Amino acid sequence: MGEKHFIKKYANRKLYDTNTSRYITLNGISELVRDGYDIEVVDRETGTDLTPLILSQIVMGEEKRGGNRVNGESPTQDRGTALLDYVRRTLNVPAQLVGNEVERRHGDVEDLIEAAIERALAQLSLPSRRDVERLSEQVSELARRVDRATGARPRRKPATRTRTRTAAARR
């Protein structure tokens, strides 16, 4: 790739290209990317990397403009493709990081919900699913012990009955 342009974003929303020592617009950044330059945009005060945000703003602007099309083709289609390829490359890693963070927080939310449900059930003096499963295991263990002590044959788990109506019963 070409040289890297380091761009600072000021509080007044102005963008300053340190390579050319001039202010630059989103269109100017778009041109740099299309011409093969790498860019890095940072907040001047905090140093926060704003490159993904600025690139997404550029893409949204390009989508709104749509460009001049002839027979369904944009005259600057190759350069537009270069911009989109650069954006995809640049945004790919942050997207993976965001995906991992979302998965982690999703698990945290599930844990919080489960704990809240258990507290609510406890306040209402209702057993939770875990309580019922634990009791069921204990009953099964007691049944096995009784069977061993009495010499009886092991019992089968009771089958769940489902009612089905036959054609004769529906008449």
Q: How many CB atoms lie within 10 A of CB 49?
A: 13
51 — pLDDT class (breaks 50, 70, 90): confident
Furthest C-alpha separation in the chain: 93
Q: What is the CA radius of gyration of the chain?
A: 32
The pLDDT score that the predictor gives to residue 28 is: 92
The pLDDT score that the predictor gives to residue 68 is: 45
Mean pLDDT of 86-101: 60
pLDDT in tens, 98-147: 566 566 666 777 777 778 877 877 778 878 778 889 999 999 999 999 98
The pLDDT score that the predictor gives to residue 36 is: 83
Look at 124 and 68; give whichever has higher pLDDT: 124
The secondary element (H helix, E strand) that includes residue 21 is none
| Contact yes or no for 16/23 (Cβ under 8 A) | yes
Mean pLDDT of 20-42: 89
66 — pLDDT class (breaks 50, 70, 90): low
Q: Is the pTM of this model over 0.75?
A: no
The pLDDT score that the predictor gives to residue 58 is: 81
Domain parsing of the chain, residue ranges: 4-102
| Contact yes or no for 42/48 (Cβ under 8 A) | yes
The secondary element (H helix, E strand) that includes residue 160 is none
3-state secondary structure of 108: helix
Given the structure tokens 């890297």, which residue do they identify? 4
Share above pLDDT 70 across residues of the chain, in percent, rounded to a whole number: 61
CA distance 157 to 80: 66
- For 43-47, 63-67, 72-76, which range has the lowest pLDDT when averaged over its residues? 72-76
Share above pLDDT 90 across residues of the chain, in percent, rounded to a whole number: 23
